[in-house]
Amino acid sequence: MKIAFFSTQLYDKEYFSRYNTSHELVFFEAQLNEQTVTLADSCTAVCAFVNDVLNAAVIKLLAGLGVKIVAMRCAGYNNVDLPAAQFHNIKVVRVPAYSPYAVAEHAVALILTLNRKTHKAYNRVREGNFSLEKLTGFDLNGKTVGVIGTGKIGQVFCHIMQGFGCRVLAFDLIANKELEARGIEFLPLTRLLPQCDIISLHCPLTDQTRHIINSDTFGLMKPGLMLINTSRGGLIDTRAAIHALKTGHLRYLGIDVYEQEEKLFFHNLSEEIIEDDDIMRLMSFPNVLITSHQGFFTDEALTQIAQITLQNINDFEAGMPLVNKIV
């Protein structure tokens, strides 16, 4: 089967080529959208990523080109018009879990870096500055951590934070009995937010969760908290976060995702003018740490992504049940 890969990076070529045994792989650096969709001509499958555009118009054009399956090489699929795919009889599959440890551990890395300011200390020492001024952190032990979303990644994150000696609270539509048995308390969001020193987001982006962190929910949080987002950028209202940072209500912000990241992340823009005023404002705060959607970026995760994606396509080609089918 001929597969068109969009939004391709060097690591995509490396890992998919390593584990491919039977398909013809065609890699494009371009993002999938209405202008680039014709690149998939003569391909039966399209492999897309988090920032590719798979709206109704693109789905219709893919169907016209003869594409039969869209394989998302990620867990999220909020960028796919599922009713359009169903209407045009295009199957959509995903990688529901590659390495929950990768993302959960990156969330912890953001917490530790923001707290102990190791990024600032590193730069200081390289310049011959061994001062400890303004590098004060706090003990994680005994702090209350709120986890919004307790899927596979959220569960791993809960376990890690308990290992630090934190009190862990959680919010999800359905309480996880295993986590409850480990001493994690599930609460409504309005009761969880006021108690937390640290809040970490691990829920999918849906109509219900978009901007779940907004001016109203910031108002419920205790002053001086730390907010971490390694899930989807749209969970946070960026303008509300900027306001909370300016007033000092939000003391630390660590994000691996961003609302408008599709125009920024995974690209080298060091020689260009960045026109996104919101992210430039975020980058100006000394207590904000931004990484470029690298939470998934471990050898184990990349291996799982390639293997599961290719297996999804193999199963489709063989007419077998699609265990990771969305529609």
Please give the average per-residue pLDDT across 90-109, as a whole number.
95
Please give the average per-residue pLDDT across 119-144, as a whole number.
98
Q: Is the pLDDT of residue 237 over 90?
A: yes
With cut-offs at 50, 70 and 90, classify the pLDDT of residue 56: very high
Quick one: CATH architecture of 100-290? 3-Layer(aba) Sandwich (3.40)
59-83 burial: b if 16+ Cβ within 10 Å, else e: bbbbbebebbbbbbbbbbbebbbee
Query: How high is the mean pLDDT of the chain?
Result: 97
Q: Which pLDDT does position 98 carry in this prediction?
A: 87
Let me know if the fold of 2-98+299-317 is the same as that of 100-290.
yes
Structure-block tokens of residue 12 = 């995509």
Distances (CA, A) of 139 to 78, 170, 175, 279, 289: 37, 21, 28, 29, 19
Q: Is the pLDDT of residue 76 over 90?
A: no
Over residues 148-176, the pLDDT tens digits come to 999 999 999 999 999 999 999 999 999 99
Over residues 192-233, the pLDDT tens digits come to 999 999 999 999 999 999 999 999 999 999 999 999 999 999
| Sequence-separated contacts (24+) of 294-298 with Cβ below 8 Å | 294/106, 294/256, 295/102, 295/103, 295/106, 295/107, 295/230, 295/256, 295/257, 296/74, 296/98, 296/99, 296/102, 296/103, 297/11, 297/102, 298/99, 298/101, 298/102
Pick the catalytic residue: 73, 106, 202, 232?
Answer: 232
Please give the average per-residue pLDDT across 101-110, as a whole number.
97
The question of whether 293 is a catalytic residue gets the answer yes
The question of whether 14 is a catalytic residue gets the answer no
In the chain, domain spans: 2-98+299-317, 100-290
Does the domain at residues 2-98+299-317 carry the CATH identifier 3.40.50.720? Answer: yes
Who contacts 111 (Cβ-Cβ below 8 Å, separation ≥6)? Answer: 140, 198, 200, 226, 228, 254
With cut-offs at 50, 70 and 90, classify the pLDDT of residue 97: confident
Q: Which pLDDT does position 13 carry in this prediction?
A: 98
Over residues 285-306, the pLDDT tens digits come to 999 999 999 999 999 999 999 9
Please give the average per-residue pLDDT across 103-121, as a whole number.
98
The question of whether 261 is a catalytic residue gets the answer yes
Pick the catalytic residue: 94, 202, 259, 261?
Answer: 261
Instruction: Provide the sign of the torsion angle of the four alpha carbons 177, 178, 183, 187, taken in this order.
Output: negative
pTM: 0.92
- The H or E element that residue 154 is part of is helix 152-163
Please give the average per-residue pLDDT across 47-52, as a whole number.
95
